[in-house]
Structure 1
Amino acid sequence: MPKWGMVIDLETCTGCQACTTACAMENNRLPGENWQDVLFYSEGSYPNMKLSWLPRPCMQCENPSCVSVCPTRATYQTEDGVVLVDWNKCIGCKYCMVACPYGVRFYMDEKPVVEPDIRAAFPGEGQRSWNPPFRMPDEYEDPSKGIGIQPKGVVSKCTFCYHKVSQAPEGVADLDEANPETREFTPACVRVCAPKARFFGDLDNPESKVNELIAEKGGVRLKEETGNKPKVYYLSGGGAPVVPGKRSTRS
């Protein structure tokens, strides 16, 4: 059984947000509710201020605090280590949103992040919160895994494109856009990354590219002090990817 993980090279990432757009299209996201967010922040002061950025997906933690606080066990971890939300069990209590130290969960039944509210243009049917024209095929939807059109009154999050990666050939070390055999199973954010700053593979496979990069370039994880043990690693030239206290340009 693989243990899927992601590596993001901050020295290569250009902050283009193609990952954000691809994820939104693949996973039926509302404008502004970005599972694959890119946070922009400033370093220094004027006139020597420098703009930097940090891509921030769900960390898919090995020890996820969101799982332990869920009163209905709607948030759970699969055998291959991916943290998902069962929309059939979620009651929208938001405990998981409070417990997550990375701020990567969303509750849709609130004021829209971006106006005008696009849900009015594409109203939902039945339990669906909305019905965008680019929605994924019905056969991909699986509410028990938080995949598809988000129902009303539930929490959502990045799934590592689980509807794709869970179908990958057995025993593969990496899921790569450049490999015809694994292209269709590669997460959307990894597939569209123009500067090739994202890598996805099996952290338990010593031959995987993700393991090679983590070892050779000193991969680091966010908020190690929480004990969550993220499965998303950053390459930043050996330094910490975000220095506490930097002023964010995001409201």
Structure 2
Amino acid sequence: MAKWGMVIDLDKCTGCQACTTACAMENNTLPGESWQDVLFYHEGEYPSGQMKWLPRPCMQCEKPSCVYVCPTRATYKDESAGGIVFVDWNKCIGCKYCMIACPYGVRFYSDEKPLIEPDMRDIYPGQNKQLWSPPYQNPKEDWSRGIGIQPPGVVSKCTFCYHKVSQAPEGTVDFDEDNPAVKEYVPACVRTCAPKARYFGDLDVPESQVNQLIGDKHGVRLKDHTGNKPQVYYLGAGAAVPAFTPADKGDKS
């Protein structure tokens, strides 16, 4: 059984936010809602310090605190789906307990005021309890896994593009956008990364590219002291990643 993981090389990442845009288009996220944040911060004394950035997807934790606090079991970790953490929109009551419990700040509530104007939900209104209907919406809708156009009053999050990954040929270990056999199944953020700073594959296979990178380049996990055990690893000289809190966004001095 696969265990999907992502590796992000901070030495290669340029902070271009192509991952943010690709994710929004692929997953129909609401205006201003970024499942793939790139956080910018200032390291050192201002103004002589250095501007840096940190890409931050959902960590798909091995021991996700968001799952433990959900009163309706809407948030769950599916080992049969590679250990991805999903939100069942049929069960979610929008209590936001999972958002509070998540130490990474990577969950979003659909009814909050949009971060950008105009509100695209007003421009492309939807039907059947849907708040909007963008012209680029993904046809593979699965509310039990939080995939599609999210209904009102629910929490949403990154799914590692499960609707793509799950269609890959059986036995696929490495998802390389340069491999014609699997490129259509590569998560949108990985496939769109221009400097090839992102890698995706099976953490349960020792020979996989992600495992080799983690071992050879001493991959680290964000906020590992929390015990959540993320399935996302960081590489590079900047891999001593800062201890961001969910509220940490924008420049830091």
CA distance in 2, matches of 1:105, 1:81: 17
User: In 2, distance between residues paired with 1:136 and 1:239?
Assistant: 34
Q: Is the CA contact (8 Å cut-off) linking 2:31 and 2:116 kept in structure 1?
A: yes
**SS of equivalent residue, structure 1 residue 67:** helix
| Letter of the structure 2 residue corresponding to residue 107 of structure 1 | Y
Aligned to 1:37: 37
Cross-structure match for 2:156: 156
User: Percent same amino acid at aligned positions?
Assistant: 70
> 2:75–2:86: 8 Å Cα contact kept in structure 1?
yes
Query: What is the alpha-carbon distance in structure 2 between the residues aligned to residue 5 and residue 98 of structure 1?
Result: 24
Partner of 1:16: 16
Aligned to 1:133: 135
3-state DSSP class of the match of 2:200?
strand
Aligned partners of 1:183, 1:33: CA distance in 2, in Å?
A: 26
Structure 1 residue 167 displacement after superposition: 1.6
Aligned length: 248
For structure 2, the 5+ residue unaligned runs are none
Q: 1:22 to 1:239 in 2, by over 3 A?
A: closer
Q: Which amino acid aligns with 2:170?
A: E
Partner Cα distance (1:221, 1:104) in 2: 15
CA offsets 1:88-109 (integer angstroms, 9 cap, x no match): 1111111110110000000011
Task: Within 5 Å, give how 1:94-109 maps onto structure 2.
Answer: 94-109=96-111
SS of structure 2 residue aligned to 1:21: helix
What amino acid does structure 2 have at the position aligned with 1:85? V
CA distance, structure 1, for counterparts of residue 203 and residue 21 of structure 2: 26
The residue that corresponds to 1:51 in the other structure is 51
User: Which deviates further from its counterpart, 116-125 or 185-194?
Assistant: 116-125
Q: Deviations over 1:81-124 (max 9, x none)?
A: 00001101111111110110000000011211112211111112
Equivalent positions of 1:171-182 (< 5 A) are 171-182=171-182
CA RMSD, Structure 1 to Structure 2 (Å)? 1.7
| Superimposed CA distance per residue, residues 125-154 of structure 1 (whole angstroms, 9 cap, x where no aligned partner) | 1111211111112xx110111000010010
Aligned partner letter, 1:170: E
Residues 1:174 and 1:28: Cα distance change in structure 2 (over 3 Å): same
- Residue 27 of structure 1 pairs with residue 31 of structure 2: no
Cα distance change, pair 74–32 in 1 and its aligned pair in 2 (3 A): same
CA distance in 1, matches of 2:98, 2:44: 34
Question: TM-score, normalising length from structure 2?
Answer: 0.94
Q: 1:20, 1:92 → 2: CA distance?
A: 24
CA distance, structure 1, for counterparts of residue 193 and residue 226 of structure 2: 29
Q: Secondary structure at the match of 2:24?
A: helix
In 2, Cα distance between the equivalents of 1:95 and 1:238?
31
The residue identity in structure 1 corresponding to 2:103 is: P
Residue ranges of structure 1 left out of the alignment (5+ in a row): none
C-alpha distance in 1 between matches for 2:19 and 2:95: 29
Mapping for residues 1-251 of structure 1, pairs under 5 Å? 1-78=1-78, 79=80, 80-137=82-139, 140-237=140-237, 239-242=239-242, 249-250=250-251
Q: Is the 8 A contact 1:217 1:237 kept in 2?
A: no
